[in-house]
Amino acid sequence: MPVLRTGSWTIDYIEAGSGSCVILLHSSVAGNRQWRTTVEALQDQYHVIAINLFGYGQTSPWPGDREQTLADQGESIQPFIDQARSDVALVGHSFGGAVAMTIALHRPDKVSRLILLEPIPFCLLDEAGRVDAYAEVLRLRDSVKRSGGSGDWEKAAAGFADYWSGEGTWAAMSPERQKTFTSSMPPNLHEWDAVLGMTARQNWSSIQARTLVVWTRDTKRPIREIIEVLREKAPHWQYRDLNEGGHMFPLTQPGITSRLISEFLCDPDEGVQYAHQSLPPARSKPIAATPQSGRMP
């Protein structure tokens, strides 16, 4: 992968195609390889860049000398936005969605389109008084912080995998896959601070980019309630729900994901749209893959 070096960070990325710039931001414990199918689908029409966030691939790890913020993550993306010859479209899944929202909010001069696939600005739940959903998030956060903070990354990985992909996911992994997944957990320790801290509370409805939000009906409760809050705060955005696929549908259904992205990028129409689309039947038992192939948020 090519590497970009700034005064503070080293950032690696995948790059393909030419045309208008589309930047892809991955979910936690996945890395930019989760976008391989999407890069292939878009590269004939767009200049596609899939960036590794802090701690993934060859990108610098977060130093841990202070709490990470979404603005910190967004800062690492700025050189790519500044180098773009025209407007930029941002696509973010899960944690990458929250990062994309921050960038779009602060760079209205460059970001014209925003695609959010099950974004996780968890601070919205607290702000909106969604007590039970917020408590569910905090339990997972506390589990990761407690286990990871004591160096038991395997325990942290097991709980994280089973929460997002279903009970039994961790046990279904081979020992080699468990080891690989565990090695990719440390960045997540700091990502919780970014999506839960006071610095994450922003006026998202002020985003000027034309925005599409996509989620699945069978996703986790905190995600469903985040979408409900966003629809209240930003009714002018476009929203689309999918029958099934869970939080990880961008990884398990990359073809459908790529089509949704392509259709929104090509659509010239303005205004609010609400659509419902079915996904093919999900597997009877969720199976998690290694972070390289991306099956975790």
Q: What is the pLDDT of residues 66-118, one digit of tens each?
A: 999 999 999 999 999 999 999 999 999 999 999 999 999 999 999 999 999 99
Q: Number of C-alpha atoms within 13 angstroms, CB side, residue 159?
A: 17
pLDDT band at 289 (very low <50, low <70, confident <90, very high): very low
C-beta of residue 156 within 8 angstroms of C-beta of residue 144: yes
Is 169 inside a domain boundary?
A: no
Q: Report the C-alpha gap between 13 and 4 in whole angstroms.
A: 8
So what's the pLDDT on residue 279? 46
Q: H helices of the chain, where?
A: 36-42, 70-83, 95-106, 123-127, 131-149, 153-165, 169-172, 175-183, 186-196, 221-233, 249-252, 254-266
With b meaning 16 or more CB within 10 Å and e meaning fewer, what string describes 117-149? Answer: bbbbbbbbbbebebeebbebbbebbebbbebbe
Mean pLDDT over 276-297 rounds to 37
The answer to pTM > 0.85 is yes
Phi, psi of 37 (to 5 degrees): -65, -40
**Domain region containing 82:** 3-129+192-277
Is 134 inside a domain boundary?
A: no
So what's the pLDDT on residue 43? 97
CA distances from 1 to 14, 162, 278, 295 (A): 6, 31, 35, 21
Beta bridge partners of 216: 242
220 token code pair: 């986790």
Of 41-45, 166-170, 293-297, minimum mean pLDDT range: 293-297
Is 11 inside a domain boundary?
A: yes
Average pLDDT, the chain: 89
So what's the pLDDT on residue 269? 58
CATH of the domain at 97: 3.40.50.1820
Is 24 inside a domain boundary?
A: yes
Residue written as tokens 């710039």? 21
pLDDT surpasses 80 at 291: no
Is 290 inside a domain boundary?
A: no
Is 144 inside a domain boundary?
A: no
Is 166 inside a domain boundary?
A: no
Is 177 inside a domain boundary?
A: no
Q: Please, what sign has the CA dihedral across residues 253, 254, 259, 262?
A: positive
pLDDT tens digit sequence for 139-153:
999 999 999 999 999
Higher pLDDT, 281 or 242: 242
Q: Quote the Cα angle for 52-57-62, to 5°.
A: 75
Q: Report the C-alpha gap between 69 and 75 in whole angstroms.
A: 10
pLDDT band at 268 (very low <50, low <70, confident <90, very high): confident
Higher pLDDT, 115 or 5: 115
